[in-house]
Structure 1
Amino acid sequence: MNQRVYLDYSATTPMKQEVLNEMLPYFTEKFGNPSSIHAYGREAKQAVDVARDRLAKAMGAKQDEVFFTGGGSEADNWAIKGIAYANKQKGNHIITTKIEHHAVLHTCEYLEKNGFEVSYLDVDQYGMIDINQLKNAITDRTILITLMFANNEIGTIQPIKEIGALAKEKGIYFHTDAVQAFGNVKIDVNDLNIDLMSISAHKIYGPKGVGALYIRKGVKINSLIHGGAQERRRRAGTENIPGIVGFGKAAELAMETLETHISHTTSLRDKLVKGIMEKVDYVRLNGHPIHRLPGNVNFAFEFIEGESLLLSLDMLGISGSSGSACTSGSLDPSHVLMAIGLSHEIAHGSLRLTIGDFTKEEDIDYVIAELPKVVDRLRQMSPLYEKVKGGLK
C-alpha cells in the first residue's frame, strides 16, 4: 500500500488540533462538575456557557435555545418524541420523508406503534421532495414536519427555506436533521424558520459522543431524559465537559473557515466527478447535480457489487463507504437509493466518497487513476457485463 486516502468525511472527521488543545485541560486540571457551586464547578460551567454561545452564533440562535446531547441521534429522538408527546392533544400526525437517517425513521416507526400517524414523502430521482406533495400531506392533525437538511448518502440539499415558511404559515413545528449540513453550508435558523435542529460534533472536526438540539424559544416539547436539573431542566445527566468544549471550538472554526471549506471541497468534488464519469462507463451520479453538499460524491456502478468495490479500494489505501456508516453492516440495499428509483442490483453497486478539509488534490488524482481499474477488474468477473460488452444487451 503506497498511499492512504480518507474519503469518508460524512461518516466522521478527524479532530482538528485546535479542538483537541481546548479540550485537554478539561480532562485533568479543569475537571469540575458544572452543577457544583465551588470554583471547580464554576470553571466547568463557564466552559459550557462559552461553547453554547459559540454554537448559537454559528446558527443564528440565542444562547438559551441550544441544548447539548450525546449526539445527533439523541437530538433527533428528543425533537421528534418530545414534540409528539407534548402536543398530542393538538394532533397525532407527523410528516417526514423516505430518505431520512434511521435515527428519524426508526423514531417515527416507534411512534406509529404508540398511536401516532406518519406520512413518508416520496422524493424524485435526485432525492428532492415535492413541495406540493408536502402541502397535500398536511392535515388539521399535523403537529410536526421532520425533514433532513441534506442527505447523508447522496448529499441532496432540500428546499429548507420553503419548507420552513410553509410550516410557519400552517402553525406546524419544523425539525431538521442538519447533522450533515451544519459546517458545510450557511445556516440561519431564523431566516429558514427552523423550530428544532439536530447537529453533531464529530461531523465538523470535533469529538464523538456529543451533539446538540436547537429548540426555538416557545416550542412546546417534553424532555427525553429525566433526572437532574442539567441543561436548564431539559436534559438530565452530568455534562460531557471536554466534548462540549470541543464542539464549541469546532463550531467556531467551522464558521471562520466556511467559505474556504466550501470552495476547497466543491472544487475537489467536481474534479472527482468529472474524472470518474469520463473514465468509467455505466455509472451514474446519485443525488442532485447542483443542490448538494460541497464534499459529497455518490456513484452507482452497474455490474459490480459494492462490498467488493470497497474492499478492493481499501487494499489500495482508499477509504470510502457504500452509504450511511450507521448501516454499513447491513446487506440490504440503501433505502435512500431505492427511494430515488435505483434497482436492487444497481443500488448494491453504490460508492460514497466524501471530501473534507484535509483532502488534497493528489488524493483525488490517485482515486481517479485507481478507481476505474478496480471497476474494470470487478466487471470482468460479471457474466452480465460480458454480455453487454458483446452487444447482447
Structure 2
Amino acid sequence: MTAMRSYLDHNATSPLRPEARAAMIAALDAGGNASSVHREGQLARSVVETARAQVAALVGASADMVTFTSGGTEANALALKGAGVERLVISAIEHPSVIETARAAGAEVHVAPVTAEGVLDLDRLDRVLARDKRRCLVSVMMANNETGIVQPLAQVVELARQHQALVHTDAVQGAGKTPIAWPILGVDMMSLSGHKLGAAQGVGALVARDGLTLTPLIEGGGQEKKRRAGTENICGIAGFGAAADAARVRDEAARLTVLRDRFEAGLVDLAPDAVIFGAGLERLANTSCFAVPGLTAQLLVIALDLDGVAVSSGSACSSGKVGRSHVLQAMGVAQDLAAGAIRVSLGWSTREVDIERALAALKTVIERSARRAA
C-alpha cells in the first residue's frame, strides 16, 4: 500500500506479511520437489512439514490433520464432497464456496435460517437434523465474512452429535482473528485460507480429525496422504506457515477492537442514523459492516476509493461485485438499507491513521450527499 492509501479490505485479502514474503523467497531459492528422495527434495519436504506444523498450531490441531489445498474454496469442496454423506445442512449465510459446492455435491441440501441478528437459528437446525437420519454433514462458518458475526459453533456441534452428524466449519475469516482450540471446538473438519492471514493467494488447508475418511477431489500422486494429489506449492505453503505463525504469536484482536470501535464511534458521529450490523453481538475484532440510509454501496465504495480508502460492499467472491448481500437478505434487512451496506475490515497492517483517513473520506461523502438533498 502507498503512504497515501488506506487498505481496509482485509477480509477480501490481507496484504503479504513480511514474514511470509521472506519464507516464500527462501523456498523459491531452495528449489526441490518434496516427493524427491535426494537432499534437495528432503529440504523441500522440510519446508512443507514446518509450515504444516505452523498452520496446525494456529488452530490447536496436530500437524498430521492438515491437508494443504489451493485455498479455502478447495478446502470447503473437499470437506463437503469428500465426506460421502447423503445430506448436507448449511446455514443461509455461508460463503458462496460452501453454498455452490453444496448444490453440486450430489447430496440432499437443507439451508438452515439465521435470526434477524445474523446468528444461526439453533431450534430450526435441530428440527432439520431430527427429520431425517441419513448420514449428514453440517457446515456452519466460524464467523461471517461480511458482518463478522461469530456463529454458535459449540451448540452446533452439540446438536450435531445428538443426531450423529458430522460438522465442518469454514474458519477462513476466524483463523488468526479469534482464538481457536481444536480439541475444545469439537468439529470434524475446518477450512483455512492463507491470503486471509497475510500469506499469498493460492494456498489453503483442510484440517480434519484423525480417522475421518475423505474421498479426494484430485487424484494422481500420493501427496498429502492421498487426500490431494499434485506437486505441493512449496513457496505458497512456506508463506502460509510463516503467516500463520505470525498471526498466532502477535494476536492483535485487542488492538483491532480498539480501532474498529474508534471507526464505528466516528461513523455514528458523522451519521447518527447509520446502522451497524451485528452491533452488540460477538463479532470479529476486525470487521464492521454498516449502512448509511440514502447512500448506496456503489457510491460509497467508489467515493472512498477515489479518496484513497479501499473498502468493499461484501464478499469478494465475484469480480467487481457491488450488489445486495445474500447475508443481509437472510437476516431480513430491508432492500434499500442492504443496498448501501459497506464492509470495513482491518488487519495486521492497519494503523490509526487509516481509520482517521476513512472517517475523513466518509465525512466528505456524507456532507456532499446532504448538500444535494437540501
**Per the shorter chain, which TM-score range?**
over 0.9
SS where residue 326 of structure 1 aligns?
coil
SS where residue 240 of structure 2 aligns?
helix
Deviations 1:354-389 (A, max 9, x none): 11122111221222233033023235556xxx6xxx
Deviations 1:211-253 (A, max 9, x none): 0000111112211111111101110010000111111111111
Pairs within 5 Å for 1:68-83: 68-83=68-83
Distance 1:328 1:322 in 2: 12
Q: CA deviation at 1:25?
A: 2.1
Please state if 1:93 is matched with 2:87.
Answer: yes
Distance 1:122 1:142 in 2: 21
Q: Which residue matches 1:317?
A: 308
Q: CA deviation at 1:288?
A: 4.7
SS where residue 183 of structure 2 aligns?
coil
Q: Which residue matches 1:169?
A: 162
Q: CA deviation at 1:24?
A: 0.7
Q: CA deviation at 1:4?
A: 1.2
Distance 1:134 1:270 in 2: 32
Q: CA deviation at 1:170?
A: 2.6
Identical-residue share of aligned pairs (%): 38
Bigger mean CA offset, 263-272 vs 298-307? 298-307
Distance 2:192 2:102 in 1: 19
Q: In the alignment, is the contact (CA less than 8 A) between 1:10 and 1:180 conserved in 2?
A: yes
Q: Which residue matches 2:359?
A: 368
Q: In the alignment, is the contact (CA less than 8 A) between 1:155 and 1:288 conserved in 2?
A: no
Q: Which residue matches 2:46?
A: 46
Q: CA deviation at 1:57?
A: 1.8
- How many corresponding residue pairs? 371
Q: CA deviation at 1:287?
A: 2.4
Q: In the alignment, is the contact (CA less than 8 A) between 2:270 and 2:366 conserved in 1?
A: no
Distance 2:55 2:209 in 1: 14
Q: Which runs of 5+ in 1 are unaligned?
A: 387-393
SS where residue 190 of structure 1 aligns?
helix
Distance 1:158 1:270 in 2: 20
2:128 aligned partner, one-letter code: A
Deviations 1:185-219 (A, max 9, x none): 01112201111000011111111100000011111
Q: Which residue matches 2:100?
A: 106
Q: Which residue matches 1:389?
A: none
Distance 1:331 1:16 in 2: 28
Q: CA deviation at 1:330?
A: 3.9
Pairs within 5 Å for 1:1-393: 3-28=4-29, 30-83=30-83, 86-87=84-85, 92-111=86-105, 114=106, 116-138=107-129, 139-258=132-251, 261-330=252-321, 332-378=323-369, 380-381=371-372
2:357 aligned partner, one-letter code: Y
SS where residue 88 of structure 2 aligns?
strand
SS where residue 353 of structure 1 aligns?
strand
Q: In the alignment, is the contact (CA less than 8 A) between 2:214 and 2:227 conserved in 1?
A: no
SS where residue 327 of structure 1 aligns?
coil
Distance 2:124 2:164 in 1: 18
Distance 2:319 2:45 in 1: 38
1:211 aligned partner, one-letter code: G
Deviations 1:246-302 (A, max 9, x none): 1111111111111xx001100000111111112204320012523100010111121
Q: CA deviation at 1:165?
A: 2.4
Deviations 1:317-338 (A, max 9, x none): 0110000111353454110111
Q: CA deviation at 1:38?
A: 0.8
Distance 1:146 1:140 in 2: 17
2:74 aligned partner, one-letter code: E
1:11 aligned partner, one-letter code: A
- Which protein shows a greater Rg? 1
Distance 1:294 1:363 in 2: 16
Q: In the alignment, is the contact (CA less than 8 A) between 1:54 and 1:249 conserved in 2?
A: yes
Q: Which residue matches 1:390?
A: none
Distance 1:2 1:229 in 2: 46
Deviations 1:130-162 (A, max 9, x none): 211111110312510001000000100001112
Q: CA RMSD in A?
A: 1.7
Q: 1:234 to 1:306 in 2, by over 3 A?
A: same
Bigger mean CA offset, 127-136 vs 96-105? 127-136
Distance 1:232 1:240 in 2: 15
Q: Which runs of 5+ in 2 are unaligned?
A: none
Distance 2:236 2:3 in 1: 35
Q: In the alignment, is the contact (CA less than 8 A) between 2:68 and 2:206 conserved in 1?
A: yes
Distance 1:329 1:370 in 2: 21
SS where residue 325 of structure 1 aligns?
coil
* TM-score normalized with structure 2 length: 0.95
Q: In the alignment, is the contact (CA less than 8 A) between 2:309 and 2:361 conserved in 1?
A: no
**Dislocated runs of 4+, deviation >3 Å:** 378-382
